[in-house]
Amino acid sequence: MSKRVFNFCAGPAALPEAVLLRAQAELLDWQGKGLSVMEMSHRSDEFTGIAETAEHDLRDLLSIPDNYKVLFLQGGASQQFAQVPLNLLPEEGIADYLDTGIWSRKAIDEARRFGNVNVAASAKPYDYFAIPGQNEWQLSKNAAYVHYASNETIGGLEFGWIPEVGDVPLVADMSSDILSRPIDISKFGLIYAGAQKNIGPSGLVVTIVREDLLGRARSSCPTMLDYKVAADNGSMYNTPPTWSWYLAGLVFAWLKEQGGVEAIGRINQLKQRKLYDFIDASGLYSNPIAKNDRSWMNVPFRLADEKLDKPFLAGAEVRGLLNLKGHRSVGGMRASIYNAVGMDAVDALLGYMAEFEKEHG
């Protein structure tokens, strides 16, 4: 494995090496069956076992209560921007949304295609460098749900707390920070997460939905997008993304082997603290996000002189530190340090950043 690099991509992101090796070993012959998981019938006993084990392990990792359904769906989180209002927003109803960055704004724009949206709070007055406190929010009295993105991968803004919205269902896009630390699932009506960051490869989205929210889809909602149809059919109304589901299951098993979300959360806390502490003490690098709202998973930073961006990235690539270029909408750099990005990767990055600062600072 000498050719493996340190991959800081925001998504599709790094996968645990142990997971890739196991998938490689089972690629042509899964557990002596003489065929690949990609070739199995999704109705077979073999794949049913894979699916059931994956769900069991995810429930175990997140302590998901029994009154929640776990769905393994297609389309990614962006499809959920439409699927959520089609299932939860009555045609004459209103939904509250929080605007903390690009992904939450995309969700807002999509929801407006299906009904009334109240932007209850926005980070825009803070240049998207801080999350407005709940005392600033203007929540509706009769909202069908409250939606927020728990972590903005592009801007590096993350909720370190769960909003309090009373009896109104709380809906969260947790695509980039699910499984990064423990969370109380019972606080939410629905959680969705694209797989390609902390769960597995792209093409899969995991949705965790409280049972009482099923059966509310509009009559115009396509059958494939109805959460109840998915739940009633065990996420197999049609042929699911079997390979992605299988790999997600391997990631869940790997995470349990690491000690679960409690253990990985402690590691993630150390990783992000190490990186932010270095940036804050530096004269060359900077991060503009309010300290209480900094993302654990996506760490954006800028160099004091933009002319140094290209040589920084070139030097990083030579050292096997890949995908550090920031999103085109914000520029600068971004290190995504999901669960599969170990402390050795962070240490290698910090070593290079110190070396580069010594030469160019």
Query: 3 pLDDT exceeds 90?
Result: no
Under the banding of pLDDT at 50, 70 and 90, the label for residue 361 is confident
Q: Mean pLDDT of all residues in the chain?
A: 96
| Cβ(321)–Cβ(8) below 8 Å | yes
Residue 1 scores a pLDDT above 50: no
The CA R_g of the chain, rounded to the nearest whole Å, is 21
Determine what percent of the chain is predicted with pLDDT higher than 90.
97
Contact criterion met (CB below 8 Å) for 37 and 246? yes
- Does an H or E element contain 336, and which? strand 333-336
pLDDT per residue over 88-98, tens digit each? 999 999 999 99
3-state helix, strand, coil in the chain (%, to 5): 40, 15, 40
- Compute the average pLDDT of residues 198-214: 97
Q: How far apart are CA 87 and CA 218, in angstroms?
A: 6
C-alpha neighbours within 13 Å on the C-beta side of residue 267: 21
Residue 2: pLDDT over 70: no
198 near 177, Cβ under 8 Å? yes
Q: Give the 3-state secondary structure of residue 87.
A: helix
Residue in this structure with the two tokens 């997971």, named with its chain if needed? 19
Q: Give CB contacts under 8 A, 24+ apart, made by 317-322.
A: 319/348, 319/352, 320/5, 320/6, 320/348, 321/5, 321/6, 321/8, 321/345, 321/348, 321/349, 321/352, 322/5, 322/6, 322/7, 322/8, 322/9
Per-residue model confidence (pLDDT) at position 166: 95
Q: What is the number of alpha carbons within 13 Å of residue 46 lying toward its C-beta?
A: 16
**What are the φ and ψ backbone dihedral angles of 343, each rounded to 5 degrees?**
-60, -30
Per-residue model confidence (pLDDT) at position 331: 86
- Residue 173 known to be catalytic: yes
| Residue-level pLDDT at 239 | 95
Vertex 244 angle, CA 238 and 245, to 5°: 65
Q: Annotated catalytic residue: which of 69, 99, 177, 197?
A: 197
Quick one: average pLDDT of 199-210? 97
Domains of the chain, each with CATH number or no CATH: 18-257 (3.40.640.10), 260-360 (3.90.1150.10)
Which entry of 30, 69, 103, 271 is annotated as an active-site residue? 103
Do the beta carbons of residue 337 and residue 346 sit within 8 Å?
Answer: yes
Please indicate whether residue 103 is annotated as part of the active site.
yes
User: Under a CB-based contact definition with an 8 Å cutoff, are residues 40 and 51 in contact?
Assistant: no
- 217-227 residue pLDDT tens: 999 999 999 99
Closest CA to 258 of 269, 249, 266, 248: 266
d(CA 99, CA 113): 17
Backbone phi and psi for residue 337, each to the nearest 5 degrees, phi listed first: -120, 65
Check if 256 is active-site. Answer: no
Q: What is the DSSP string of 197-266?
A: TTTSSSS-EEEEEEGGGTT---TTS-GGG-HHHHHHTTT-SS---HHHHHHHHHHHHHHHHTTHHHHHHH
pLDDT in tens, 102-142: 999 999 999 999 999 999 999 999 999 999 999 999 999 99
The CA distance from 326 to 124, in Å, is: 20
318, pLDDT greater than 90? yes
pLDDT for 323-347, tens place per residue?
999 988 888 999 999 999 999 999 9
Of 57, 96, 173, 226, which is the active-site residue?
A: 173
329 CB neighbour count, 10 Å cutoff: 9
Sheet holding 333-336, edge to edge: 285-286, 298-303, 333-336
**Is the pLDDT confidence value at 32 over 80?**
yes
Q: Quick one: tokens of 84?
A: 């959520």
Mean predicted confidence (pLDDT) in 174-185:
98
